[in-house]
Chains A and B, each alone.
Chain A
Amino acid sequence: MNIIDRRLNPQGKSLANRQRFLRRAKEQVVKAVRDASGKRGIQDIENGEKVTISTGGVREPSFHRSGAGGVRDYVVPGNKEYVEGDTIARPESGGGRGGNEGSPDGEGDDDFRFVLSREEFLDIFLEDLELPDLVKQKVKQTESHSLTRAGYSVTGSPANLNLVRTMRNSLSRRIALKRPKPAEMLELEELLREAEDRGDDPEKLREMRDQLERHYLRSKRIPFIDPIDVRYNRFETVPKPIAQAVMFCLMDVSGSMTEHMKDLAKRFFMLLFLFLKRRYRSVDIVFIRHTHEAKEVDEDTFFYSTETGGTVVSTALEEMQRIVKERYPENEWNIYAAQASDGDNMSSDNARSAGLLRDGILPLCQYFAYIEVAAEHNMGLSALGRETELWRTYKTVQGPDLPIAMRRVRSRREIFPVFRDLFAREKAKA
């Protein structure tokens, strides 16, 4: 008998099969993922998800008898009261009890449920957005710099002096040039003094004095530390991608924004969050909602509480500017902003908003996305080109080199295409 411990064998033998399965069920999984993502909060979109797909594409058919019709016999245990010839009302669910062999592995036409891992979920979620390449370019642009040690140099500031290296050079130079050591000289002086005290042979004394003199001269000519010995630590500036990003969600919450519009906005924010999360180590989210005044709030309040008031967009932009100044210095953070609004704004505020955006916000941002959400049903008007106040305003800001993009969204279906579109355009430009 052999006992073999297989526990250390490579795990995940089924991984290849699982990938084949996902590839096979692609269409359904993608759809399931989209549905699932609609139900989640922005930040926990990242976890794995139990998805349900219809068995359509992954059915394993076989020849088997159908569950209905014909004559069947069953033998079952547990008789309590029946005798031969008794009749039993047919169970309501059709097929009958016990021997319903319609689905050999208990599957039938039911939906198929399984759990996607976080990675798989995100991969599928982002797949049709074709984002990753674009993000790379973005990251390249958003580098900051840091210093790294890069060897030694002969010039530099005293603070960067490298003592060890300098002393080593000095020592080897001294040995090479035979500079007398201080200890040797002290010894010689001692000997000379003793000889003088003893009153030795003057000839010998003179010789000793000469030697001492030569030593003095030599040690004076050959400095203990020469400028050529001195070494400094050298630093190089290395571009370093900023590993953190902050995402500003700006939303108009005035009365004109319906639940439907907020839902659209939420989905858009969710996508942006994911997009950033894939690229940066940490992503902060700041929610700013505004009516005629702007306030930073938490996610729940942002999406679900209502407020009444007018609409002054510039307040939100100002609030964002303030928060950036306070907490997110632009050289340390990648700043992204997404604004959702139904396009209303006080006419008097338009010029101010445009100015703020152009001069205050856009220089800070990697990307500023404006989506205008419209009610599902009044598509007539906005579709026929009546541009809203805010749209017209932002349009004046738009320029070929500015990181701003704007889109209109009317229904849930459009969110993905619009999102892809926003970034695809940017990509084409870059």
Chain B
Amino acid sequence: MTAVIDKPDSLLYDGADWDYDKIKRVYDAIEDIALKDMGLSVYPNQIEVITAEQMLDAYSSIGMPLMYKHWSFGKHFARDEMLYRKGYRGLAYEIVINSSPCISYIMEENTMTMQTLVIAHAAFGHNHFFKNNQLFQQWTDAEGILDYLEFAKSYIGQCEDRYGHHAVERVLDAAHALMNQGVHKYPKKRSLDLRLEQKRERERQEYQEQTFNDLWRTVPKVAVGGARPSKSVSERKKLLGLPEENLLYFLEKKAPRLEHWQREILRIVRHMAQYFYPQKQTKLMNEGCATYTHYTILNEMHRRGMISEGATLEFLHSHTSVVFQPEFDDQRFSGINPYALGFAMMQDIQRIAETPTDEDRYWFPDLAGRGDGMGALRDAWANFRDESFVLQYLSPHLMRKFKMFSVRDDAEDPYLLVENIHNERGYRGIRKLLARQYDLGFLEPDIQIVDVDLAGDRKLILHHRVTNGVLLDESDAKAVLRHIANLWGYEVQLVEVSALSDAILKEHAVTAPSGIGG
């Protein structure tokens, strides 16, 4: 701590009530710290004040300001509302949307200190992450999302008017069931533009000219059409782009019996799934980044005498309850708290960069002692997702602090086995396993469409590659297959195949629906 400029008139506000002037003043102060001291870079901010009721509304439409209509949102609303009204659950202090301008909702009930905290957390922490993380940059379109939602809402509304609620609902139900299997996990191959194509062609030509050897002409050619049938299967698969793991995409493009508007609805749901995919992969980092940001900013504001001691205590109280991590045998335990671990890792990175121990130097030779903690954090925020972030940055120091240990649960054993604990032998194992807990590609079952004979019976065949012997939940799998059959229009079969031995473990099949269409 350097010299404290402790003048009472440097306070930005006093007391619990908020008004627009105070928010404006506080926002400017936060912006100053965030941009100049921390070097954050954010989308323009838009802060919207809403009531508890509206917060509930926002909850049920997955936090988006506008959303098409579907009963599942009503269902979530009904449940959230009950939990809230009966006092089982509080509401979030804020919701922030990955859009440009970045919209943060703050609740009118919050005290001024909470508003300050929320602005620092959402409007700068999350906002910076949205703008700079490579996943978001690559996969989401912050400028266009609100317009797209507007389009989606009105399009689905029109479909309801034209084709009836029931028909639209049927498509949406099916699409929602497949949302997790409706994302592209890898960037598409960009189609080449003409100039690049020409260039490549020229290079090929040149290469051939350079390596021309007349001898090759004399080598006898293999007779065409040797292994015909197997080729036709692979040809067929290739034509359909199989295997395909994006089920929604495949159905949208290839399902033979869908109407145009049904394809468009699938497309909308697919876009939504894709839009949220980065958020699902970066929950730990996103919250860690935002929590670290608000913690840093509010401490700095306190240091500069901008907020009172009382406000600081209020902020600390709320901060500590957010980053509280119950232990595994605690009643309150429900997995690792992303705020707690995220925040701890951010602080840890800063510590390693600025005041490393010998152990850190051994584990993080590039990071330890580089001095610029904030810069190191910005790098991490830009280039990682949860899984790779844990794999890269989880330090032995933190594993000891959290007293982490890993447990193996093999259904064939009568007991659980403690495999790794927080000691020299266990660090790498724990880190690897924890990283995998954040790997969506591992968490979600690997389901792919492997074959369909469009010229034959049109039976759609899916494979689930089973890892670790964990099969799909049967009743849900059946229900989802029914949805797929509704879209596909013909028989659908799902085979669960062991990833190790290719042995067939289980088969599910659903017959063709009696009729589909609008």
Interface residues of A (CB under 8 A from B): 1-7, 9, 11-14, 16-25, 50, 58-80, 82-90, 96-99, 101-102, 112-115
Evaluate contact between B415 and A89: CB separation under 8 angstroms.
Answer: yes
Evaluate contact between A3 and B20: CB separation under 8 angstroms.
Answer: yes
B297 at the interface (CB under 8 A from A): no
B189 at the interface (CB under 8 A from A): no
**How far is B65's CA from A4's CA once the two chains are assembled, in angstroms?**
13
B425 at the interface (CB under 8 A from A): yes
- Chain B residues near A80: list those with CB within 8 A: 327, 329, 403
Ordered nearest first, which 10 A-B pairs have the shortest CB separation? A78-B327, A21-B74, A70-B470, A17-B74, A114-B78, A70-B469, A61-B479, A20-B71, A76-B328, A66-B473
B5 at the interface (CB under 8 A from A): no
CB distance from A380 to the nearest CB of B (A): 43
- Chain B residues near A21: list those with CB within 8 A: 71-75, 77-78
Give which listed residue, A67, A76, A88, A89, contacts B336 with CB less than 8 A.
Answer: A76
B-side interface mostly = mixed
Evaluate contact between A84 and B416: CB separation under 8 angstroms.
Answer: no
Which of A20, A58, A82, A85 counts the most chain B CB atoms within 10 A? A20
Evaluate contact between B48 and A6: CB separation under 8 angstroms.
Answer: yes
**How far is B463's CA from A404's CA once the two chains are assembled, in angstroms?**
68
Which of A2, A11, A25, A75 counts the most chain B CB atoms within 10 A? A75
Closest A residue to B176 by beta carbon equals: A60
- Chain A residues near B173: list those with CB within 8 A: 60
Evaluate contact between B417 and A87: CB separation under 8 angstroms.
Answer: yes
Closest B residue to A88 by beta carbon equals: B416
**How far is B57's CA from A16's CA once the two chains are assembled, in angstroms?**
11
Q: List 27 A–B pairs whose Cβ atoms lie within 8 Å, in order of A's numbering.
A: A1-B44, A2-B101, A3-B49, A4-B46, A4-B49, A6-B49, A6-B54, A7-B50, A17-B77, A18-B74, A19-B74, A23-B165, A60-B173, A62-B180, A64-B445, A66-B471, A77-B336, A77-B404, A79-B421, A82-B418, A84-B420, A86-B418, A88-B407, A88-B417, A88-B418, A90-B416, A115-B78
CB distance from A98 to the nearest CB of B (A): 6
CB contact under 8 A between A20 and B470, given known A11-B53, A14-B61, A99-B437 = no
CB distance from A115 to the nearest CB of B (A): 5
Evaluate contact between B409 and A71: CB separation under 8 angstroms.
Answer: yes
**B: number of interface residues (CB 8 Å):** 100
- Chain A residues near B46: list those with CB within 8 A: 1-2, 4
- Chain B residues near A14: list those with CB within 8 A: 56-57, 60-61, 73-74, 77
Evaluate contact between A76 and B471: CB separation under 8 angstroms.
Answer: no
Q: Which of B301-350 contact A (CB under 8 A)?
A: 325-330, 333, 335-336
B385 at the interface (CB under 8 A from A): no
CB distance from A90 to the nearest CB of B (A): 6
**How far is B75's CA from A22's CA once the two chains are assembled, in angstroms?**
8
**How far is B60's CA from A131's CA once the two chains are assembled, in angstroms?**
34
Given contacts A66-B472, A86-B418, A89-B415, 19 further A-B contacts (CB under 8 A): A1-B31, A5-B48, A6-B49, A11-B53, A17-B60, A17-B74, A20-B165, A58-B71, A61-B475, A61-B480, A63-B476, A66-B474, A70-B411, A71-B408, A71-B409, A75-B336, A77-B336, A78-B329, A79-B404
